Structure 1
């Protein structure tokens, strides 16, 4: 996996990003019938972190809504926002992990994350759920990638 992680970091020019996901975590969530592999989901997640500003408190949303707080001035466009997000991630101790809480019939929230803005719930059974922690944007960013490939990838932040 380390080679895949390094290739993705190189592809997105993110040498400072730590990816802390074990093969066991991947295998546990790689159930039969998954149309989107872990490797593809990881690529989609990193792309979303650097490009998707559609949901509250995603890195790009924060940069576009509060550019001064992140040292951005002048012409603000998607290219500027992506490059600034990349720089901030590289200069921080940001770590990308996989949400791995097991599902259980005893607690409906185990293995589930909820987007507070939309109310949508995402389970590890149906989604690859990535967490960006120790990042320069907000306490925690989630990126969810539908394992069936039917729903768009989305990214948001949470305190």
Structure 2
């Protein structure tokens, strides 16, 4: 019985990874950076919630999609997360603050990782912080895609791209 459940989870993880790849394959081309980010947010959110094994794959795909943002600049050092807060539904949320050090209004695509007490990857999401004025900061909320209430969770900025 346990072997059959593990097999189902592995199959679900593989199916989720394939589905994410298919969804994200349509995120390039003529899409604007904002369209690419929105598609990646949606895909990562839906796939990461499918099965635990898919979180690793979703994380890799999210990094790849952030690489695809045209004219994007890596600015991980300009983005921070606040303390994680667990809601009544078990989902963890954190405030993401992006500081715009550029001389023009910019948006940010931020990959936030949720790790369990052992440091293992529990979830990953992409959140956007739109239209941050030069020299200012703005916030958005990153929220896990599933219940992470089984123990302490920490959040970190895995990747941040300013565009």
TM-score bracket for the superposition, by shorter chain length: under 0.3
| Higher relative strand content | 2
Calculate the TM-score normalised by the size of structure 1. 0.24
TM-score, structure 2 normalization:
0.24
